[in-house]
């Protein structure tokens, strides 16, 4: 049996492991103790090998034939696609084409995707799914720090004396990080969690600030107020642009004033703030709970002001968690509408959400989507599907059929990460090589190879690569932060961590001087991530453990609300949102917040995003579909 070193293809932690290969098949995994994750894997990492030879894999190029697809050769599909793209470009101009890059394919795949969009198609319309989940992080951290990665390594968490988790649930979503948090706690660290829900993470906390959904902004400014009025803000914080104004603004957010609007007792806000201020090595971990709420920019600015006040940027660390394995790399190598490789500013193209609006208007005629289930990931599914039906060409490159391939004109089969060499960048900025373990399924190819072939069919030069390492070398020349990376370096266990420099230049300007009106009627639905699955579930629903443990969608409702509605566990409720209805089975949670319900986004036939409004927010140029007001009723029959 051969052992081949690789990186987990799921979340942003990039855990190292070995694939066990027997007679050309991946048959299991083995732990890799020397890797930064010390061999630890969660249920997804343990079962990741099941994706490689999964019977659902797309094994051959497909061309639409009426309602179905017919199999085609690579030559036929590339000829058809290249001709259509050339036709669109000459008929409507290059801006009539959009490209959505993947956040789970390799750096080389992503680098060539943006190169193809910009240099071959000539379109600035290139973006990646990070825009939907982390637009506020991209907007603030790229300009503020020069990069949107963690400012510390993951092992730093273990030596922290205070872990402050806001809008994230690492015990369910990033379990290997949870292990580090527990170790810190065992050594005496305090764990403070801000979350409207009771989750595995909040159970392990010392202080749970059970904030009302969307009220993080007021809560975080209130904590800043406590620290500033206690004269405990770090000296260096006052040098951060806008910090003084943030402190001044926080005067209107004293704990007693915001207790009602946030739902958190003033006493608890004070205690959490003072513990944070007294910390010598604070770590702040945040995720979609902050970055996908309608006030994401303000909430993140408040979090950054608070972080500056307690020394996170000098003695601690900031970790923005995302749920796909190469969100970081895809952004680093230039798959963003406003930044090219290495975050070099570029003439603005349309963001992912803006592209869909342009498709709906008929301004974009052809769309290429790489490794991303766009239909399942966006709010207002009907609007997105109708928009995509307008396209003259929808080309999807992926491993499995998704809700998006159902509308595609052509589908190009991509290799799984185990079938080719490539590098992936985790949340720390750690670039690691995943080695090829087995031959591709059927006629699947690595994305970088598909893109190179397509460029050649379109008559372009500059895409002659003899292997992945050629692409890798080119990207290290174009991505300034990657300039020290070498093939040997990224091939070592643990890879290489990219260089980070510069100080904190975050602008805190634009913080809202007021609190928002209460507009809620009915229930507030939170869309999020649950245990074992990831993202919209196109990969994890195919894992045996995840599909056995969490086989179907559910809605979490607290015991009191369930009693009021006469619901028992397993009943079905109808959920009416602004853009549609869903029927889903009830899961009763003992200590949830009254008026607040939760649904995971992992099941495409019952995805809470699908019934939410498609509204693009200024500043982040993305929809922020974390919450929506819904009506609930017990389903009859
Ligand atoms: S924590 Fe993330 S990277 Fe690690 S094994 Fe689990 S899914 Fe993979």
Q: Specify the DSSP element, H or E, that contains 177.
A: helix 175-186
44 C-alpha to center of ligand 1: Å? 6
339 C-alpha to center of ligand 1: Å? 28
Residue 273 sits at the vertex; the CA angle it makes with 507 and 280, to the nearest 5 degrees, is 85
Pick the range with the lowest mean pLDDT from 280-289, 443-452, 601-610: 601-610
Distance CA 637, CA 480 (A): 61
The predicted pLDDT at position 223 comes to 98
Overall average pLDDT of the 607-611 stretch:
94
Residue-wise pLDDT tens digits, 217-264 = 999 999 999 999 999 999 999 988 888 989 999 999 999 999 999 999
Name the 3-class secondary structure at 577: strand
Atom of ligand 1 at shortest distance to CA of 534? 7
Residue 362 has pLDDT above 70, yes or no: yes
Confidence of residue 547 (pLDDT cuts 50, 70, 90): confident
Pick the range with the lowest mean pLDDT from 271-280, 375-384, 546-555: 546-555
Residue of 13, 200, 532 with the most ligand 1 atoms within 8 Å of its CB, for mutation: 13
The owner of tokens 């639409």 is 64
Residue 32 sits at the vertex; the CA angle it makes with 27 and 34, to the nearest 5 degrees, is 165
Phi-psi category of residue 358: left, alpha or beta, with phi > 0 → left and psi -120 to 50 → alpha: alpha
The predicted pLDDT at position 449 comes to 98
Residue of 12, 45, 168 with the most ligand 1 atoms within 8 Å of its CB, for mutation: 45
Name the E strands within 197-334. Answer: 207-209, 282-286, 317-320
What separation in angstroms does the CA of 598 have from each of 131, 195, 376, 564, 587?
A: 23, 12, 17, 17, 10
Overall average pLDDT of the 49-77 stretch:
97
Confidence of residue 183 (pLDDT cuts 50, 70, 90): very high
83 C-alpha to center of ligand 1: Å? 41
Do you know the residue count of the chain? 637
Q: What is the CATH number of domain 523-634?
A: 2.40.40.20
Distance CA 609, CA 374 (A): 12
The predicted pLDDT at position 344 comes to 94
Q: Residue 318 is encoded by which pair of tokens?
A: 């900031």
Atom of ligand 1 at shortest distance to CA of 426? 3
Residue 468 has pLDDT above 90, yes or no: yes
Q: What is the CATH number of domain 152-315?
A: 3.40.228.10
The DSSP symbol for 140 reads: H
Q: What is the pTM of this model?
A: 0.95
Confidence of residue 513 (pLDDT cuts 50, 70, 90): low
Higher pLDDT, 532 or 14: 14
Instruction: Say if ligand 1 is within 6 A of residue 535 CB.
Output: no
Residue-wise pLDDT tens digits, 402-443 = 999 999 999 999 999 999 999 999 999 999 999 999 999 999
The predicted pLDDT at position 516 comes to 44
Residue nearest to atom 4 of ligand 1 (CA): 15
441 C-alpha to center of ligand 1: Å? 24
Residue of 30, 42, 171 with the most ligand 1 atoms within 8 Å of its CB, for mutation: 42
Higher pLDDT, 147 or 26: 26
Residue of 10, 43, 326 with the most ligand 1 atoms within 8 Å of its CB, for mutation: 10
323 C-alpha to center of ligand 1: Å? 10
Overall average pLDDT of the 305-318 stretch:
95
Where are the domains positioned within the chain? 62-129+325-479, 152-315, 523-634
153 C-alpha to center of ligand 1: Å? 16
Residue of 175, 182, 418, 539 with the most ligand 1 atoms within 8 Å of its CB, for mutation: 175
User: How much of the chain, in percent, has pLDDT values that exceed 70?
Assistant: 97
Instruction: Say if ligand 1 is within 6 A of residue 174 CB.
Output: yes
Overall average pLDDT of the 590-602 stretch:
90
Overall average pLDDT of the 596-625 stretch:
91
The predicted pLDDT at position 348 comes to 83
Distance CA 268, CA 221 (A): 14
Residue 50 sits at the vertex; the CA angle it makes with 47 and 52, to the nearest 5 degrees, is 130
Q: Residue 495 is encoded by which pair of tokens?
A: 């890879």
**Residue-averaged pLDDT of the chain:** 93
Instruction: Say if ligand 1 is within 6 A of residue 136 CB.
Output: no
Instruction: Say if ligand 1 is within 6 A of residue 246 CB.
Output: no
Atom of ligand 1 at shortest distance to CA of 176? 1
Overall average pLDDT of the 173-190 stretch:
96
Distance CA 36, CA 353 (A): 36
Atom of ligand 1 at shortest distance to CA of 177? 1
Higher pLDDT, 411 or 499: 411
Name the 3-class secondary structure at 135: helix
62 C-alpha to center of ligand 1: Å? 32
Residue of 44, 154, 323, 543 with the most ligand 1 atoms within 8 Å of its CB, for mutation: 44
Instruction: Say if ligand 1 is within 6 A of residue 44 CB.
Output: yes
Residue-wise pLDDT tens digits, 81-110 = 999 999 999 999 999 999 999 999 999 999
175 C-alpha to center of ligand 1: Å? 7
14 C-alpha to center of ligand 1: Å? 6
Confidence of residue 502 (pLDDT cuts 50, 70, 90): low
Q: What is the CATH number of domain 62-129+325-479?
A: 3.40.50.740
Residue 147 has pLDDT above 90, yes or no: no
Residue 577 has pLDDT above 60, yes or no: yes
The predicted pLDDT at position 512 comes to 62
Instruction: Say if ligand 1 is within 6 A of residue 10 CB.
Output: yes
What values do phi and psi take at 136, rounded to 5? -65, -40
Distance CA 345, CA 471 (A): 22
Instruction: Say if ligand 1 is within 6 A of residue 171 CB.
Output: no
Atom of ligand 1 at shortest distance to CA of 17? 5
Instruction: Say if ligand 1 is within 6 A of residue 45 CB.
Output: yes
The predicted pLDDT at position 477 comes to 97
Residue 518 has pLDDT above 70, yes or no: no
């Amino acid at each position: 049996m051969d052992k081949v070193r690789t990186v987990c293809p799921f979340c942003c932690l990039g855990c190292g492991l070995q694939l066990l290969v027997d007679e050309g098949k991946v048959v299991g995994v083995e732990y890799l103790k020397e890797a930064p994750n010390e061999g630890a894997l969660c249920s997804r990492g343990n079962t990741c090998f099941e994706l490689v030879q999964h019977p659902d894999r797309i094994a051959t190029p497909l061309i639409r034939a009426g309602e179905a697809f017919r199999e085609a050769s690579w030559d036929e599909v590339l000829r058809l696609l290249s001709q259509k793209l050339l036709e669109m470009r000459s008929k409507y101009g290059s801006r009539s084409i959009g490209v959505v890059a993947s956040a789970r394919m390799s750096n080389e795949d992503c680098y060539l995707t943006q190169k193809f969009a910009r240099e071959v198609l000539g379109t600035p319309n290139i973006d990646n799914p990070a825009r939907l989940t982390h637009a506020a992080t991209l907007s603030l951290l790229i300009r503020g720090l020069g990069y949107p990665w963690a400012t510390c390594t993951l092992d730093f968490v273990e030596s922290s004396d205070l872990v402050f988790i806001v809008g994230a649930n690492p015990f369910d979503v990033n379990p290997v990080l949870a292990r580090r948090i527990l170790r810190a706690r065992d050594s005496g660290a305090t764990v403070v969690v801000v979350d409207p829900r009771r989750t595995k993470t909040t159970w392990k906390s010392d202080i749970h600030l059970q904030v009302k959904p969307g009220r993080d902004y007021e809560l975080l400014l209130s904590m800043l107020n406590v620290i500033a009025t206690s004269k405990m803000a770090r000296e260096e914080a006052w040098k951060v642009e806008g910090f003084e104004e943030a402190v001044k603004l926080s005067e209107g957010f004293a704990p007693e004033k915001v207790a009602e609007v946030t739902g958190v007792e003033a006493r608890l806000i004070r205690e959490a703030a003072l513990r944070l201020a007294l910390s010598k090595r604070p770590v702040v971990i945040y995720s979609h709970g902050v970055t996908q709420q309608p006030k994401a920019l303000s909430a993140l600015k408040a979090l950054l002001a608070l972080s500056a006040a307690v020394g996170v940027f000098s003695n601690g660390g900031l970790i923005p968690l995302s749920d796909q394995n190469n969100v970081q790399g895809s952004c680093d190598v230039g798959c963003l509408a406003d930044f090219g490789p290495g975050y070099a500013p570029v003439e603005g193209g349309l963001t992912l959400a803006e592209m869909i609006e342009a498709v709906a208007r008929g301004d974009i005629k052809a769309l290429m989507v790489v490794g991303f289930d766009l239909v399942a990931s966006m709010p207002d599914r009907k609007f997105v599907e109708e928009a995509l039906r307008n396209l003259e060409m929808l080309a999807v490159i992926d491993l499995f059929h998704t809700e998006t391939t159902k509308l595609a004109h052509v589908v190009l089969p991509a290799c799984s990460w185990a079938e080719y060499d490539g590098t992936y960048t985790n949340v720390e900025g750690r670039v690691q090589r995943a080695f090829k373990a087995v031959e591709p399924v059927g006629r699947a190819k690595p994305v970088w190879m598909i893109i190179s072939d397509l460029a050649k069919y379109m008559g372009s030069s500059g895409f002659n690569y003899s292997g992945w390492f050629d692409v890798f070398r080119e990207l290290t020349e174009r991505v300034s932060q990657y300039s020290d990376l070498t093939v040997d370096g990224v091939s070592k266990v643990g890879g290489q961590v990219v260089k980070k420099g510069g100080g904190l230049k975050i602008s805190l300007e634009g913080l809202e001087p007021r609190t928002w009106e209460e507009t809620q009627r009915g229930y507030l639905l939170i869309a999020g991530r649950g245990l074992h699955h990831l993202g919209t579930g196109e990969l994890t629903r195919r894992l045996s453990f995840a599909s056995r443990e969490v086989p179907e969608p559910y809605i979490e409702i607290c015991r009191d609300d369930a009693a009021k509605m006469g619901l028992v566990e397993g009943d079905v409720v109808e959920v009416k949102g602004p853009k549609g209805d869903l029927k889903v089975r009830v899961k009763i949670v003992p200590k949830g917040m009254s008026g607040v319900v939760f649904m995971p986004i992992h099941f495409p036939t019952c995805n809470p995003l699908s019934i939410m409004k498609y509204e693009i927010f200024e500043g982040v140029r993305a929809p922020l579909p974390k919450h929506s007001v819904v009506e609930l009723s017990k389903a009859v029959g």
